[in-house]
Structure 1
Amino acid sequence: MKLYNLKYHQEIVNFEKAVKLGLGQKQGLFFPVELPAFKPVELLKILNMDFITRSTEILAKFIHHEISKKQLHQHVQEAFSFTRPLKVNITKNIDCLELFHGPTLAFKDFGARFMAQMILLMNKKHESVTILTATSGDTGAAVAHAFYKMQNVRVIILYPKGKISYLQEKLFCTLGENIKTISINGSFDDCQKLVKEAFNDKKLKELIGLNSANSINISRLLAQICYYFEAFSLLSEKKRKNLVISVPCGNFGNLTAGLLSKALGLPIKSFIACTNSNDTVPRFLSSGIWSPNKTVSTISNAMDISQPNNWPRIEELFNRKQWNLKELRFGSVSDETTKNALKELFKLGYTSEPHAAIAYQLLRDQLKQEEFGLFLGTAHPSKFKNTVEKILNHKIILPNALKNRINLPLLSYNINPDFKKLKQFLLDQ
């Protein structure tokens, strides 16, 4: 697999190099030189496969001969060794795809665990690796648990202090061992900026073997394609014909993966890019002007991102496939509307959480009569227990993944959004 740097096209690397580097020169994202596609006959065949076998075929389509299919199958099986995505019927023309049945109760488990398997496979010389990543909530837990106690791998996770849920924090800030967590006195965008600054420091990068596990890493992105195929396989022929998928968006990695599944040949009619009040992309799609506002805190905190990292990949894909960006549906939802959507879902017999509620609301509003809609359930409602219970006046029972960590002490450090302080931490710890 060859990938080029979106900011510096002369930089072309293979899959292994892209995984190890995370970001290219000039902080550029890596993007596939070739965009493979399944023929209609191949598509029908793989849709009838089990989740692990199909996922191996999808990933092999990109990775080619760098990893044998046998090896790839073993690592996919290890990465996705938890309950596969579940489809839940909400109304006669809307389903929810639950992606939160992994060890950290969020869709991020798919990408983080596959990346960990790839790092394990590629680190043949047992060199020391430092994974530096920023999280707005769920990425941190998924990455921490995926790499927990992995030899020669140190993980540093930055998150905005007071701006992720208490239970989200408990899930990844109580591990210790090779997992270091730092609360930053600022927003997620401040955390993301610090990560980019670290990658811009060539000496530091080489000295500590720096890598990132954000959705900027191509391995995470490719892994997420797999559950879009799983979603499609779970639907009847009738529902597949006019399928619209509604995606809660933060850094836009999830939507990028969905669009790549379409590029691979999955006949999805349309996607809805859903945001909360941090609506840089919806405003851009309306006006053509990229104008990020200051990030505001919402009850859907994992989407509190004003400068989404993956948006350049989406623009590149639309350009390469000669798709019209105006055909991408979009919308933003306020906290008040999010609360109402949660209540509406609850009346329909489904307990959800703020991120999925936003995707449901925009899907319900934009779905046409002849279409069938699927919205992504990206996190277990228990991760937002206090918020959901207050809105619904309904008790949420904690699953064991959270119950076992709730009384453990937080092990986080705290710093201001100052790169010099972060650099010192990276060198000292």
Structure 2
Amino acid sequence: MKFYNLKENDEQVSFAGAVKQGLGKNQGLFFPENIPSFSNIDELLALPLVERSVKILYPFVNEDLTEAKLTKIVTAAFNFPAQLQPINENRSILELFHGPTLAFKDFGGRFMANCLQAFSKDKKITILTATSGDTGAAVAHAFHGIENIRVVIMYPKGKISLLQEKMFTTLGGNIETIAIDGSFDDCQALVKQAFDDRELAEQIGLNSANSINISRLLAQICYYFEAVAQLSRQKGHSKLQDIVFSVPSGNFGNLTAGLFAKAMGLPIKRFIAATNANDTVPRYLATGEWSPNDTVATMSNAMDVSNPNNWPRVEHMLKSGIVDKDCVTSFSIDEEQTQSTMLQLAKLGYITEPHAAVAYKALQYSAKDDEFGVFLGTAHPAKFKDVVESTLGQPIGLPKELADCASESILSVDMAADFAQLREFLLANNG
């Protein structure tokens, strides 16, 4: 299968090309020439996660990977579960934080790392990526120690939780981290500038591991299938056509993957894109005007994004009819609502963190009584220990993954949101 540039349609590459290149010309996102549709959904749902994921992903990658090679990659990448936990009779959370960095991005990060390692053929690569929290850790741990791959991660200084920061800034080796004096959107803008600098890109073998990379998105399709598979096995749940997913949304890669799953035949009725105060998309869907505001810092910091990179893919799917344009609604949830929802869930016996709380609140606003609502738990509550403890008024323990890095020193360098400085850094350390 070929993947084409949404901005420059004549640019078409294979899956391997899209993974290695990251972004297309004019900062265009790659998109598959067609989305495979499965008629044997019940048979797929009966399979284990890895075996099902291979069948889902193979049509996208068969030009570059044999089924045996893909199986090896998926087995190595998806070696942890996605767990569906009931909240009440009609609501469940899909826990996506059981991987090594306790966040949903472990699925995409590990899949991309294994693919890129298979495709690199010993050519030196520099991965430049921006993170609003969880991407950094997922990418850093997925690529740590891989020969010939240098990883440079930028993040907004002082605007992610300390434990999030520690998970990717303490590794060293081939993982370099930069604390940018600015917002996540500033970090994303620097990544785009680097890709536009063709001389720089070629000299350092530039790639990106943000959710703009198609491999990240394809991997995330698989846990939507896993959620529906678990629901289909639960006694008494027969109305699979009435499933509504509420997706905590920042850069909108997670929602994009869900729309892919729906287009492939997975019985999902609709999606709720849940945002925090950074409400560009809810306002756009209401007014038709795309007008990003300055990014606002919130307790759900991984969603502090005003100009989401993946929105062009979502809009293409909605406008081209790949999915029904009415299958996405969006709500903005404020800080007070987020905190009250965390308390409400705690009273129901479930401890969660701000991002999932935003998704649950949006689900409450939108889901009807005859719809089964699933909201995504994208990170372990302990990654936001301070805000969870202050909100709930009770201590929570640290899992081993966080305890191991909590006392380590941060190795980041500080930098202004200035491309000239970034360029100098990338070239100076390109050994």
TM-score of the superposed pair, with normalisation by structure 2:
0.97
208, 211, 214: which one aligns with 1:215: 211
**Which whole-Å CA distance do the structure 2 matches of 1:370 and 1:405 have between them?**
45
State the AA in 1 paired with 2:65: I
**Which whole-Å CA distance do the structure 2 matches of 1:239 and 1:87 have between them?**
17
**Which whole-Å CA distance do the structure 2 matches of 1:297 and 1:369 have between them?**
34
Shift of the alpha carbon at 1:324? 4.1
Shift of the alpha carbon at 1:64? 2.4
The C-alpha deviation readout for 1:212-262, integer Å capped at 9, x for no partner, is 000000000000000000000000342423100000001000000000000
The answer to which of 239-248 and 394-403 deviates more is: 239-248
State the AA in 2 paired with 1:315: E
Structure 1 match to 2:226: 230
State the AA in 2 paired with 1:75: I
User: Identity of counterpart residues, as a percentage?
Assistant: 56
State the AA in 2 paired with 1:17: G
**Which whole-Å CA distance do the structure 2 matches of 1:89 and 1:322 have between them?**
31
State the AA in 1 paired with 2:85: V
State the AA in 2 paired with 1:159: Y
The C-alpha deviation readout for 1:156-191, integer Å capped at 9, x for no partner, is 000000000000001100000000000000000000
**Which whole-Å CA distance do the structure 2 matches of 1:412 and 1:240 have between them?**
47
State the AA in 2 paired with 1:297: A
User: For the Cα contact (< 8 Å) 1:285–1:326, is it kept in 2?
Assistant: no
**Which whole-Å CA distance do the structure 1 matches of 2:120 and 2:3 have between them?**
20
Structure 2 match to 1:330: 330
Structure 1 match to 2:396: 396
Q: Map 1:273-284 to 2 at 5 A.
A: 273-284=273-284
State the AA in 1 paired with 2:262: K
For the residue of structure 1 that corresponds to 2:176, the secondary structure is: strand
User: For the Cα contact (< 8 Å) 2:132–2:301, is it kept in 1?
Assistant: yes
User: For the Cα contact (< 8 Å) 1:250–1:275, is it kept in 2?
Assistant: yes
User: For the Cα contact (< 8 Å) 2:22–2:207, is it kept in 1?
Assistant: yes
Structure 2 match to 1:419: 419
User: For the Cα contact (< 8 Å) 1:102–1:109, is it kept in 2?
Assistant: yes
For the residue of structure 1 that corresponds to 2:31, the secondary structure is: strand
Shift of the alpha carbon at 1:61? 2.3
Q: Map 1:130-149 to 2 at 5 A.
A: 130-149=126-145
**Which whole-Å CA distance do the structure 2 matches of 1:356 and 1:391 have between them?**
14
When the two chains are superposed, the root-mean-square deviation of aligned CA atoms in Å is: 0.9
**Which whole-Å CA distance do the structure 1 matches of 2:320 and 2:46 have between them?**
29
Q: Map 1:193-272 to 2 at 5 A.
A: 193-236=189-232, 237-272=237-272
The answer to which of 57-66 and 284-293 deviates more is: 57-66
93, 97, 110: which one aligns with 1:100: 97
Residue 156 in structure 1 maps to residue 152 in structure 2: yes
User: For the Cα contact (< 8 Å) 1:35–1:263, is it kept in 2?
Assistant: yes
Residue 120 in structure 1 maps to residue 126 in structure 2: no
**Which whole-Å CA distance do the structure 2 matches of 1:173 and 1:229 have between them?**
33
User: For the Cα contact (< 8 Å) 1:263–1:321, is it kept in 2?
Assistant: no
User: For the Cα contact (< 8 Å) 2:155–2:178, is it kept in 1?
Assistant: yes
State the AA in 2 paired with 1:149: G
Residue 189 in structure 1 maps to residue 185 in structure 2: yes
**Which whole-Å CA distance do the structure 2 matches of 1:355 and 1:335 have between them?**
11
User: For the Cα contact (< 8 Å) 2:84–2:94, is it kept in 1?
Assistant: yes
The C-alpha deviation readout for 1:24-82, integer Å capped at 9, x for no partner, is 0000000011111001xx21111111000001111102222321101100110001122
**Which whole-Å CA distance do the structure 1 matches of 2:99 and 2:69 have between them?**
22
User: For the Cα contact (< 8 Å) 1:114–1:219, is it kept in 2?
Assistant: yes
Q: Map 1:366-377 to 2 at 5 A.
A: 366-377=366-377
User: For the Cα contact (< 8 Å) 1:135–1:157, is it kept in 2?
Assistant: yes
Shift of the alpha carbon at 1:317? 1.2
The answer to which of 55-64 and 226-235 deviates more is: 55-64
Structure 2 match to 1:49: 47
Shift of the alpha carbon at 1:308? 0.2
Structure 1 match to 2:173: 177
Structure 2 match to 1:380: 380
For the residue of structure 1 that corresponds to 2:10, the secondary structure is: strand
State the AA in 2 paired with 1:99: L
The C-alpha deviation readout for 1:77-128, integer Å capped at 9, x for no partner, is 001122x10111101110000000000000000000000000110012x011
The C-alpha deviation readout for 1:121-141, integer Å capped at 9, x for no partner, is 0012x0110000000000000
TM-score of the superposed pair, with normalisation by structure 1:
0.98
- Give the unaligned 5+ runs of structure 1: none
User: For the Cα contact (< 8 Å) 1:221–1:256, is it kept in 2?
Assistant: yes
**Which whole-Å CA distance do the structure 2 matches of 1:56 and 1:324 have between them?**
26
**Which whole-Å CA distance do the structure 2 matches of 1:360 and 1:79 have between them?**
28
119, 125, 128: which one aligns with 1:129: 125
Shift of the alpha carbon at 1:322? 5.2
